[in-house]
Structure 1
């Protein structure tokens, strides 16, 4: 199993880190606050540090608010070349909860790929609420991770990681499908925020 670096130590970062640890990956957690990174890392036997420290993993997971991504890409630059760069972000306008903040014909993942063209960007985990990644179920249905990207090997590595961590995973197609995955996540998050659906549930893939 590949080494994985998680950038971000919030709910999603912690859930993906636990999944990667369960899959047997060597794990590194980086965050602005190294104490927060260590809080996530210590129970998993992972190393911890701050954003700006050297990246140890071949797979790098951006488990951050979308607004923080540009800073991270600027900090690492060419160090991301050749990496499988997993975009977990959802570019929601959290001031209004009424729109996405990327062009309607694009996605956060596409903009990240344009910014680091020599990385292999994969969209994954963004359409899963953190609780469903942690428990492995969305209500009575097993959690399914939808994975989109243009590099088949990069996608395969994330599908394999999710499956080894105990989840289902489906190849959702090219990176262009990130646009639909972000829209799906947007709807799911707004429903949960409006208390129409629980944060412990979410959309599920049946069959």
Structure 2
């Protein structure tokens, strides 16, 4: 399967690493690159403010694609709140902008280090929570990562992205205040 990642930073590289381990071809695009073809799964590993511009620029090419939003729409000026309405999420906004795509929320509750290593605290598999309205898209996404060290769990419909973004926000604020490390995170323990 072909995977496209918008974003060449730590998160984009760590996410791509897992798809590559799972045997997929990954193409990365930076902010100044012009994407010529897009894979079946497109990862938006960019800051939240860049989502709308990418959705507008590539709307036609993203039709029928699985589009994964990894953003945490944090107010980076204050580190004190999310910038989306309380009854919405970045992923829900993206789905409105891309009505002909299957938008999923995933990877926002993980740090790059735990994605790269595939483990939280060196012991537990890194858990990727995925929310979306299209069950088939979630299943294809999960199968695409089946041969990686990550564990993917279905977090429900896209409206659950609100809770995932709040969880990601909490994790980031804990790391920024040095209560946990940037190599820490959440894992689902059986």
TM-score, structure 2 normalization: 0.96
Q: Give unmatched runs, 5+ long, in structure 1.
A: 34-49
Equivalence for 1:197: 180
Equivalence for 1:36: none
Shifted more, 181-190 versus 24-33: the winner is: 24-33
Q: Give unmatched runs, 5+ long, in structure 2.
A: none
1:151 aligns with 2:150: no
Q: What secondary structure sits across from 1:191 in the alignment?
A: helix
For residue 84 of structure 1, the aligned residue among 52, 60, 66 is 66
Runs of 4+ residues deviating >6 angstroms: none
Deviations 1:133-161 (A, max 9, x none): 00011112111110110001110122122
Q: What secondary structure sits across from 1:179 in the alignment?
A: helix
Equivalence for 1:182: 165
What does residue range 53-132 of structure 1 map to in structure 2 within 5 Å?
53-132=35-114
> Size of the alignment, in residue pairs?
189
Question: What is the rounded CA distance, in whole Å, between the counterparts of 1:138 and 1:206 in structure 2?
Answer: 11
Question: What is the rounded CA distance, in whole Å, between the counterparts of 1:4 and 1:21 in structure 2?
Answer: 9
Please state how far the C-alpha of 1:162 moved relative to its aligned partner: 2.6
Structure with more relative contact order (C-alpha pairs < 8 Å, separation 6 or more): 2
1:133 aligns with 2:106: no
